[in-house]
Structure 1
Amino acid sequence: MEVEKGISSCEKVGFSPWWSFFMTNLEKLHVKVKKTSGDDPRRILHSFKVGLTLTLVCIFYYVTPLFDGLGSSAMWAVLTVVVVMEYTAGATLCKGLNRAFATLLGGALGLGVHHIAELCGDKGEPVLIGIFIKKRYDYGVVIFILTFSLVAVSSFRVENIIPLAHQRLSTIALGVTTCLFISIFVFPVWAGEDLHNLTSTNLEKLANFLQGMEKKYFGGDLQDRSYFQSYKSVLNSKASEDVLVNLAKWEPGHGGFGFRHPWNQYIAIGAPTRRCAWIMDSLAGFITTLDKSATIIGSDPQPTEELHVKIRSACADMSSETAKALSDLASSIKSMSAPAAARYHVAAAEAAAERMKETIAENSAVAGIVHVATIGLLVVEITRSARDIVGAVEELARLAGFESNEAVNKAAVKPLADGESQQTINIFVE
């Protein structure tokens, strides 16, 4: 009875609605954190890394002996962590080093302006400082402007300007160094690895589309179109690739990626990959249009059944071989080894393309050949794009020094020893 009275009294003062609001938002936060950890657990680790970095830097503010050495300028180190700390190590290196060098350059020029302004006397000093600040503002370098303005303007009121510039540079260097240490050595997230995996995943998505075309569409199942969505994310991958390439160049050597790893070659791979995806998009759109107009391969009665079988068989072969080539390329990138059989699969796909072209040329006068031929020729264009991708990946393997597959081809078969089963084959790589 007393509990009920307590609850009712809380409701009267409005406590229950606020508690319900708090619990609802707490539950939403839990759902978001769970979803984020499921999508990419590294983002949860990144939040802990940011907290750890801020904690380490704040020690210089809260511990009296350390604070006495930096003074109130220690707050600049905290602000630097907030501005510089990024998700990937490359992004942190990029922003951190840019901020440090801009601070150094801006502080040095600020001291120079202070010295020149002193020579102009009390009346000319504020005017000259204002002119210099406006000139630097036109260049638009934010951190450079901030440090330059701080040192230059402070020199008008602060007699000893050298310690101010020194404290500014020291605290920025402290914040940047802490960010770089945590970002590189504590659960690092490398932009280079993300770029490497993105390139491999994009090729796998293209291969999945072609495998679906071979097994479903050209295999007779005209209703299942789930594979039509597999290539969609590849179409808009250029922006992500450009950002990751730029950040990867800032990163030190790590894993299988050396200091001079050919990051630009990933852009060379991405261009034909996206071109191939756009052709797939055209093919999927054309097939969808045919569905709406009820003119699907195999349902148009005008071309002969034999012609349908020949073209469908050639398209299935092209799709199968091209998918195998793309899968081999994706596997070679993922394992950082030279592609083994991609070029052979592309050659087989091109042979099927030539066979289909001959079939179309022989039956060009047959009514209804246009729809069938259009699909076939789009598959041919996909095969051509795959050939360009093979060349780009092989160039990456050469520049990056990927492991060669020649050792596999040199495998030797050892004769059976006495007592061994005849079904056992021992293979040794020389």
Structure 2
Amino acid sequence: MSSSVVIPIQDGGEGAAPKTVEKESLAKNLSPVACLLRGMKGEHDVRRVVHSIKVGVALVLVSLLYLLDPLYNQVGENAMWAIMTVVVIFEFYAGATLSKGLNRGIGTILGGGLGCIAAVLAQEIGGVGNPIVIGTAVFIFGAAATYARSVPRIKKKYDYGAMIFILTFNLVVVSGLRAGEVMGIARQRLSTIVMGFSICIFTSLLVLPNWASDELHISIASKFEHLAFSIEGLLDKYFEVVVDKESKADGSFKVCKSVLHSKAKDESLANFAKWEPWHGKFGLSYPWDKYLQIGELLRELAATIVSLEVCIQSSRQPTADLRQSIKEPCESVASSITWTLRELGESVMKMRRCQSQALLLPKLKSTRLELRHFTSPSKLEHACDSGEDLAVSTFVFLLTEMVEKLEGLTKEVEELGKLAEFKTNDL
């Protein structure tokens, strides 16, 4: 049995040449991906170093409000609000910095404005009514803002702004209880916050920016290659006569799991990308929600691949002869799936239309029909044991599920191309 999977290396043997060429072709296709995966960590480290330097520069610039006497005479002790702003809102991605900065500005303006109104009203009433009005205002606005933070749509984009609103409102209105110049305090603090925000925006957006939109675009596009690589690894493992399950599970399956656990990161990047200005190839109102939909479909496909892994790891497996009998059609189907995944991934990465209606969908439909024909009872009569019959049927069924999910994924990528106005691919 073992001799059936050994590929002899010959100088001119006809039987060895196709296998050798196939493996060399596969290695050439995977080598750019492997280089990309190895290089991402180094590139990410460089970006972190650059980000750290940018934060240091921003802190030096904002500290000049303290260090230079002319600036200190203008802002005084309120310079600490500028420093606090830089420390709090400067994030790795430009969109995250802009999001937190605008949230902080909106929260400060609203909280400071309403706090001033409440403090002035309390001072007009005077006497015992002064603390009563302030206490009532603190309770009403604090409770309302806290409730608003629990609303999903507000929490997703404006949670930090609501928190700053609560903080600013309380500081302004309570300080107004003890000090008479409420408007002066609010104006000085707001001006220093604007200074800190301006320094953050300058260093984050104009000096080697890290765009969340670029990160999300590359992340979604690379998931197609990850899943294609996982499927190839699982098929190789399933049809090997001698299966080393432990070593095989370390490569492709870990890549698939990384796709499966990427939901939180994708949503965070999409949220930051929506705040970013027009830059590079991404315009205003870019369809980032469509990226999230594609990411969700990719995770569903990854879950099916995980189920296929569980099926392969099951103790009840068909015999090697039975697996070899279904090898050719299953590898043909897997080849169609991986080819389609790579085409879609390249379409997203290069932002070009892949003509899915004319090219990809017909191929997927023919692949699905081939699988349905293969899973008919007449095709599985040679399975002598009911357990083997079930194992083979489950394996083929999961491949069919992949094809059906891939059809939906193809349509979503095509719709993304229309919404984002991808360039037309010259076939």
Q: TM-score normalised by the shorter chain: which range applies? A: 0.7 to 0.9
Mapped partners of 1:360, 1:188: distance in 2:
61
Q: Per-residue deviation at 1:182?
A: 1.3
Residue 282 in structure 1 maps to residue 294 in structure 2 = no
Mapped partners of 1:194, 1:61: distance in 2:
37
Q: Per-residue deviation at 1:124?
A: 1.9
Counterpart of 2:196, as a letter, is G
1:196 to 191, 202, 217: 217
Counterpart of 1:237, as a letter, is S
| 1:86-119 CA-partner distances (Å, limit 9, x unpaired) | 1111111111101001111111111111221122
Residue 133 in structure 1 maps to residue 116 in structure 2 = no
| 1:197-240 CA-partner distances (Å, limit 9, x unpaired) | 11112111110012224445336563362433331111111111
Count of aligned pairs: 363
Counterpart of 1:88, as a letter, is Y
Q: Per-residue deviation at 1:275?
A: 0.9
Specify the SS of the correspondent of 2:137.
Answer: helix
**Tell me, which stretches of 5 or more residues in structure 1 are unaligned?**
1-34, 300-304, 410-430
Q: Per-residue deviation at 1:394?
A: 0.8
1:172 to 182, 193, 197: 193
Confirm or deny: 8 A CA contact 1:203 1:273 kept in the other structure. yes
Residue 347 in structure 1 maps to residue 368 in structure 2 = no
Residue 88 in structure 1 maps to residue 103 in structure 2 = no
| 1:240-276 CA-partner distances (Å, limit 9, x unpaired) | 1111111111111111111111000011111221111
Specify the SS of the correspondent of 1:40.
Answer: helix
1:183 to 204, 215, 218: 204
Mapped partners of 1:251, 1:203: distance in 2:
25
Q: Which residue does 2:63 correspond to in 1?
A: 58
Confirm or deny: 8 A CA contact 1:192 1:245 kept in the other structure. yes
**Tell me, which stretches of 5 or more residues in structure 2 are unaligned?**
1-39, 147-161
Confirm or deny: 8 A CA contact 1:279 1:381 kept in the other structure. yes
Specify the SS of the correspondent of 1:371.
Answer: helix
Q: Which residue does 2:181 correspond to in 1?
A: 160
Cα distance change of structure 1 residues 230 and 118 upon mapping to structure 2, 3 Å threshold: closer
Mapped partners of 1:308, 1:359: distance in 2:
17
Confirm or deny: 8 A CA contact 1:90 1:251 kept in the other structure. yes
Q: Which residue does 1:147 correspond to in 2?
A: 168
| 1:179-211 CA-partner distances (Å, limit 9, x unpaired) | 112111111111111111111121111100122
Alignment of 1:2-401 (within 5 A): 39-138=44-143, 139-140=145-146, 141-218=162-239, 222-223=243-244, 225=248, 226-290=251-315, 293=316, 295=317, 297-299=318-320, 308-340=323-355, 341-358=359-376, 363=381, 366-367=384-385, 368-401=388-421
Confirm or deny: 8 A CA contact 2:238 2:312 kept in the other structure. no
Mapped partners of 1:218, 1:319: distance in 2:
12
Q: Per-residue deviation at 1:352?
A: 2.9
| 1:14-44 CA-partner distances (Å, limit 9, x unpaired) | xxxxxxxxxxxxxxxxxxxxx9856532111
Mapped partners of 2:275, 2:404: distance in 1:
34
Q: Per-residue deviation at 1:393?
A: 0.8
In the superposition, the TM-score normalised over structure 2's length comes to: 0.80
Counterpart of 2:120, as a letter, is H
Which structure is larger by alpha-carbon Rg, 1 or 2? 1
Counterpart of 1:261, as a letter, is Y
Confirm or deny: 8 A CA contact 2:311 2:391 kept in the other structure. no
Confirm or deny: 8 A CA contact 1:106 1:144 kept in the other structure. yes
Mapped partners of 1:163, 1:274: distance in 2:
53
Identify the range of structure 1 (393-402 vs 214-223) with the bigger mean alpha-carbon deviation.
Answer: 214-223
In the superposition, the TM-score normalised over structure 1's length comes to: 0.79
Q: Per-residue deviation at 1:127?
A: 2.5
- Identity rate of aligned residues, in percent? 36
Confirm or deny: 8 A CA contact 1:213 1:319 kept in the other structure. no
